[in-house]
A and B are shown apart, each in its own frame.
Chain A
Amino acid sequence: MSELKRQVMPLLDLKQRQTTYKEVALGYTQEQATSEAKRCLNCKHRPCMKGCPVEIEIPEFIGFLANGDIDSAYGVLRRNTSLPAVCGRVCPQESQCEKYCVRAIKGESVAIGRLERFAADHAKQLDYQKVASNGIEVAIIGSGPAGLACAGELIQYGYQVTVFEALHALGGVLTYGIPEFRLPKTIVDREIETLRQRGVNFVSNVVVGQSVTIDELLEEGYQSVFVASGAGLPRFMNIPGENLLGVFSANEYLTRINLMKAYQPNSSTPLFAGKKMIVVGGGNVAMDAARSALRQGAEVTIVYRRSLIELPARAEEVEHAKEEGIRFELLSNPIEILGNQNKEVTGVRLVRMQLGEPDASGRKSVTEIPDSRFEIACDGVIMAIGTRLSDLAFAGSQSVEKERWGGIIVDQDGLTSREYIYAGGDVVTGSATVILAMGAGKAAAKAMMKKISELRKTR
């Protein structure tokens, strides 16, 4: 194989992909990983690291892989990320590390994400020394990547960490949102189990703001609170017909499948069995919902108002979706969901869109083409057009300053406008990425520890 091309990711057989939830990308073999690692030029100026939000020492870990030393490679990864097996699978590498890879100038970039995954999947898990507790209690709200990363950092220094989670299962979006075929739950569970063994106290079934307030947690001895409650509230389009039978938020559809295991044939949680489903949106959430609906036996069309190159989803997911037989209706936008007398969905009315000049943020504007209405028949619609933030965690407590759109305002340390209350992840940025949430959790943990120890000195 030419030096210009990367190793091809082995994939599950297409038939199986269309009907089962088995992981699609099977991962590199040892030989593939070694050859791919050897493609790395070990550039002095390390451009790839600039693209990584948590600054993983990429050439270093790849160097170990090139020599077949998987455990050392994993050790390098763990210095900067607590969830390499997850990030290797779900990071948008093409717009982060791999974007800056020198190899990409003439050919394909080194497959950094796939190598990260390989190291994480095959290394001997690190043995952690359980650090003696320093008795200082810290509370974390939410067990998604931000909360998990924060807990992982704090526990390393002996802090007594309690993670409160509203749902019965831990992991946030990793557990209830991203499907098995992209991120097997055993991987997420393993990370959580490691944290538990190291001493993190997980309390599920507690909705902060309802079961207990943040102020109460602070009064009851927690020195500091990290809010990592995500951006979980689904958005709808505010068009007629959205409450018809057969219309779902992607969150609902995916939660039924992932959290409530509706993908297993004897699950007790019901799932709508549409024959022809439309998914509205173009991000990872839309791809996950569409590919899940396909696996449930539906014929699926993704409707997105911009064009193919603007799709915000990971490139690999778009490719996989196409291979599996998802249709794309681009440059079109729903204006009404149509229904029958029984209030069941019968179709969607849409308009064609056109792209204009880029706006201040560099994104192309998009406008409706006059008189361009058309309809698509379907019996189910899934809305995957983004999420809003929930205020629930702060209910009953003095709130913190927020952006107009609801995001919590924090400084570079993750500190909110209230002393001792930190925040990070989607609750600060709005719906973003696993790696950014993780980075924020880790940074906040560092700042919290610094603040707490300073405070103790002055006392």
Chain B
Amino acid sequence: MFEILEKQRLNPTVVRLSIQADWIARHAKAGQFLILRPKADSERIPFTIFKADKKAGTVDFIYQIVGATTLILDSLKVGDTLCDAVGPLGKPTETTGYTKAIIVGGGVGCAIAYPVAKAMADQSVDITTITGFRSRDLVILQKEFSALGRHTLCSDDGSCGIHGLVTDVLAKQIEQKDTGDLLVFCVGPLAMMRAVSNLTKTHGIKTLCSMNPLMIDGTGMCGCCRLSVNGRMRFACVDGPDFDGHQVDFDEAIARLRLYGYKERQDYEHACKLLEVNHE
């Protein structure tokens, strides 16, 4: 179980893995995630399911090397097996009932935006996609997004696509569109999702954000993933991960993500030394 079948580097720090995981593949839908442990002494970490093949019992997900656990994950090769993987977790993204949607992805969040965009396109929702990256060498899934139709790529430094932020592109598109029954689906860094939500709020456009708090079990048991949504406590792993962006307390979510930053940094450096990888 959990054998790594394929490993494809999408950019220097972002990798797509395909694993054997029959129990996850069986019911996986767009927007859901899995939790894995690369090794028996690793943390449990969540990744959105990028693609699932029910027949073959395989799932693909995309990770970015950001800390010790992803670095250890990255040290595994095709043919190795992950210690554990469980899913699909969370509620699938509502992809039906909309006529048109703009899907916005930022950085590695595009790995989550793509399956949602694809599912909506398959259901004949009129979709437009916007993806944003810091610079050209970080771009992922450009071909896939383009294949879905109207797509805009932008970069913070202008090294590819439009020079600017996704919110700049989004603002323009909103002006040109009848926003009556429009949905904006957005996933990426918290600051980006906050900016997108602030923008769409002023236009009264329904906005769903896929939240990515710290998690342990992913079944509602620990409460580590809790967020304030419309002043109420919600657990992202079972009540989400999608929430109404106009109701999420982003400032709190940003603060909560910081909690173990210090230890993460230490562990990352330690893992770099162990695996003899140069960081930065």
Contact = CB atoms under 8 A, between A and B. Distances in A.
Contacts of B89: 207, 210
Contact of B216 (A243, A245, A255): A255
A268 B85 contact: no
Contacts of B26: 211-212
Contact of A268 (B24, B43, B217, B249): B43
B259 A233 contact: no
A232 B221 CA distance: 5
Interface residues of B, number: 42
A168 B88 contact: no
Nearest to A246: B259
A181 interface: no
B221 A255 contact: yes
B37 interface: yes
A19 B252 CA distance: 34
A261 B259 CA distance: 19
A172 to B, nearest CB: 10
Given A205-B84, A272-B259, A255 B222 contact: yes
B38 to A, nearest CB: 10
B246 interface: no
A234 interface: yes
Contacts of B27: 210-212, 396
A413 interface: no
A260 B44 contact: yes
Nearest to B251: A343
B164 interface: no
A166 B86 contact: yes
Contact of A390 (B88, B218, B219): B219
A342 interface: yes
Contacts of B42: 268
Contacts of B20: none
B177 interface: no
Contact of B217 (A166, A203, A242, A269): A166
A38 B233 CA distance: 55
B246 to A, nearest CB: 18
A193 B33 CA distance: 31
21 contacts: A166-B86, A168-B44, A168-B84, A205-B23, A205-B85, A207-B87, A207-B89, A211-B27, A211-B87, A233-B220, A233-B221, A243-B252, A248-B224, A251-B221, A252-B216, A256-B216, A261-B41, A270-B259, A343-B255, A390-B221, A392-B238
Given A210-B27, A270-B263, A390-B221, 15 more contacts: A205-B84, A207-B87, A210-B89, A211-B23, A212-B26, A233-B223, A234-B221, A236-B233, A248-B224, A255-B221, A260-B43, A260-B216, A261-B41, A343-B256, A392-B219
